[in-house]
């Protein structure tokens, strides 16, 4: 075996352990009985510690050194060079994080998520607040351990969006706010109700699932390597490209919730299922920091794919021209008298709303901005956990002109903070921007793409995305962390 192959064998074990952690997390969110939360926390803590010890070991250092020497002078764009480079970059950062912090975080996550789920159900922010405080304290400890120049947020966002930092985000959101707020005002002033509300009917959940899964498969989701479950906060998760699972949630009347939730996660899943088999269990499908997406190059890049398939494709007029007939077959009474055009307008209505994952494309980034501002405040200390409901509601009123009737539809709506995911929200906005850019590039490169999409043939688009993005896993990632002095990583 070459030094590089020996290195790969060592890292493949790490990949297995990280994938096992993901399986335990998927199970905790979709299958686990409530009584199992605490011991699941121990299991996750131990596996996370095992992974961490495996990665920061002297053996990794030795094998990495040997692989670097062996590959000196090789093509810098080749997979081996990229794989070794990324491992080196993360190795140097992760060795700064104390082992007990890693296992504390892992142990807290399922407990905290369980408390959050109950708090959301019971509209009880106070019961969740101590756990959020613990997550915040751990996040601050991590930021201090990793190090940063300007803002503790910079050390955390690196985990999700390596090229971002607090300063760049303030600039980005200020520009967005300046453009979006007046636009939203105009739309609201001119809003007219649709001639007909399709979401007054009952749409049985089992039939909703049939339709959504059919579309997901037409997009290219392979059920031989995937499955769809229910989760209160939908997500996609992958345990190698061979097992890529999605979740959704159902509203018996509001069909778009489960449909677009499924198509969103399908976009993530297509990315993961499209990774080159050769990259399985290599550094180029590993998120060394232990957060998914494992196969994708960043949260933003990943989100660009979920939003491309959900919005650019799934909410297009062409989509409903193709799929309306099948929807009417499944829901003949509910769809009596409806048209593709009505469907198109029904799923694209712009209006300020309370829930991020149900927001339209004009208001969506305002929801993200609000969360990022709060995270910055929490990390700086200018916002206290106990004041969050009040801060949240005030910002909702300021940006969107609506106030949540309760915390379940306000500050408790998202799972992210319960899992300690500070720094993950910017990826959504980055993804929104990238999704438009990627579709434009695919259209430029692919004659007949629009005609294919209009006929329900998604293969040319999937092919372009797979060829240019998916198959490369994390190989196209350029790490540019604001958490350390420029040039050191």
- Contacts with its own copies, residue ranges (CB under 8 A): 12-13, 16-17, 19-20, 23-24, 27, 31-36, 38-40, 42-43, 45-47, 49-50, 222-227, 239-240, 242-243, 245, 280-281
What's the per-residue H, E or C state across 378-421?
HHHCCCCHHHHHHHHHHHHHHHHCCCCCCHHHCCCCCCHHHHCC
CA separation for the pair 65, 69 (Å, rounded): 6
Residue closer to its own copies, measured from CB, 33 or 486? 33
Rounded Cα distance, 406 and 46, in Å: 37
Measured from the CB of residue 489, what is the shortest distance to its own copies in angstroms?
28
Tokens 């004041």 found at: 387
What is the closest distance, in whole angstroms, from the C-beta atom of residue 48 to its own copies in the complex? 10
Token code pair at residue 25:
């997390």
243, 292, 261: which is closest to 419 by C-alpha?
292
Nearest-angstrom CA–CA distance, 411 and 21: 28
Smaller CB separation from its own copies, 107 or 258: 107
Least distance to its own copies, CB of residue 87, Å: 18
Q: How far apart are CA 416 and CA 420, in angstroms?
A: 6
Least separation in angstroms between residue 16's CB and its own copies is 4
Q: Smallest distance, Å, CB 99 to its own copies? A: 12
The reply to whether 318 belongs to the active site is no
CB nearer to its own copies: give 269 or 391. Answer: 269
What distance, in Å, lies between the first and last C-alpha atoms of the chain? 29
Q: Which of 316, 286, 305 is nearest to 430 (CA)?
A: 305
| Gap between the Cα atoms of 282 and 297, Å rounded | 14
Q: How far is the CB of 25 from its own copies (least distance, A)?
A: 11
Strand 226-230 to 244-248 pairing = parallel
Query: Beta strands 226-230 and 236-238: pairing type?
Result: unpaired
Q: Is 178 or 223 the residue whose CB approaches its own copies more closely?
A: 223
| CB 232, CB 120: distance < 8 Å | yes
Q: How many residues does the chain have?
A: 489
> Is 53 or 68 the residue whose CB approaches its own copies more closely?
53
To which residue do tokens 């060795």 refer?
95
Alpha-carbon distance 131 to 139, whole Å?
12
* Cβ-based nearer residue to its own copies, 314 or 473: 473
In the set 159, 161, 265, 303, the catalytic residue is: 265
Q: How far is the CB of 205 from its own copies (least distance, A)?
A: 14
- Which residue's CB is nearer to its own copies, number 50 or number 181? 50
User: Shortest CA distance to 206 belongs to which of 230, 222, 227?
Assistant: 230
Active site residues: 265
């Amino acid at each position: 075996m070459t030094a590089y192959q020996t290195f790969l064998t060592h890292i493949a074990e790490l990949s297995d352990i990280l994938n096992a952690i993901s399986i335990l997390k998927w199970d905790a969110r979709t299958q686990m009985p409530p009584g199992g939360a605490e011991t699941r926390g121990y299991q996750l803590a131990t596996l996370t510690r095992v992974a961490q010890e495996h990665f920061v070991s002297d053996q990794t250092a030795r094998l990495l050194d040997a692989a670097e020497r062996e590959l000196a002078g090789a093509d810098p764009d080749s997979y081996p060079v990229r794989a070794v480079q990324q491992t080196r970059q993360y190795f140097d950062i992760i060795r700064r994080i104390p082992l007990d912090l890693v296992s504390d975080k892992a142990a807290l996550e399922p407990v905290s998520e369980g408390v959050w789920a109950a708090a959301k159900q019971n509209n009880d922010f106070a019961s969740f607040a101590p756990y959020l405080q613990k997550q915040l304290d751990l996040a601050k400890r991590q930021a201090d351990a990793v190090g940063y120049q300007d803002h503790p947020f910079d050390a955390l966002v690196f985990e999700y969006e390596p090229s971002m930092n607090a300063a760049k985000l303030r600039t980005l959101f200020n520009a967005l706010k300046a453009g979006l707020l007046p636009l939203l005002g105009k739309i609201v002033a001119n809003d007219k109700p649709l001639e007909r509300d399709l979401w007054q009917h009952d749409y049985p959940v089992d039939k909703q699932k049939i339709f959504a899964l059919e579309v997901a498969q037409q997009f290219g989701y392979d059920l031989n390597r995937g499955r769809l479950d229910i989760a209160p906060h939908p997500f996609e998760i992958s345990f190698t490209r061979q097992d890529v699972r999605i979740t959704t949630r159902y509203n018996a009347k509001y069909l778009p919730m489960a449909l677009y939730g499924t198509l969103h996660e399908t976009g993530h899943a297509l990315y993961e299922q499209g990774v080159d088999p050769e990259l399985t269990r290599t550094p180029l499908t590993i998120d060394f920091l232990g957060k998914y997406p494992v196969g994708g190059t960043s949260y933003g890049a990943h989100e660009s794919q979920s939003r491309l398939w959900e919005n650019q494709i799934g909410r297009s007029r062409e989509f409903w021209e193709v799929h309306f007939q099948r929807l009417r077959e499944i829901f003949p009474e509910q769809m009596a008298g409806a048209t593709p055009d009505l469907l198109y307008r029904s799923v694209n209505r712009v209006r300020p709303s309370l829930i991020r994952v149900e927001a339209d494309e004009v208001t969506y980034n305002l929801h993200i901005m609000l969360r990022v501002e709060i995270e910055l405040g929490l990390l700086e200390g200018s916002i206290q956990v106990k004041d969050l409901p009040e801060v949240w509601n005030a910002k909702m009123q300021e940006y969107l002109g609506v106030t949540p009737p309760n915390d379940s539809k306000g500050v408790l709506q998202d799972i992210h903070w319960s899992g300690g995911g500070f720094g993950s929200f910017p990826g959504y906005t980055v993804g929104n921007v990238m999704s438009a850019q990627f579709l434009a590039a695919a259209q430029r490169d692919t004659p007949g793409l629009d005609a294919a999409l209009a006929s329900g043939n998604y293969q040319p688009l999937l092919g372009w995305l797979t060829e240019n993005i998916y198959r490369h896993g994390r190989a196209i990632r350029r790490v540019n962390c604001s958490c350390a002095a420029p040039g050191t990583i």
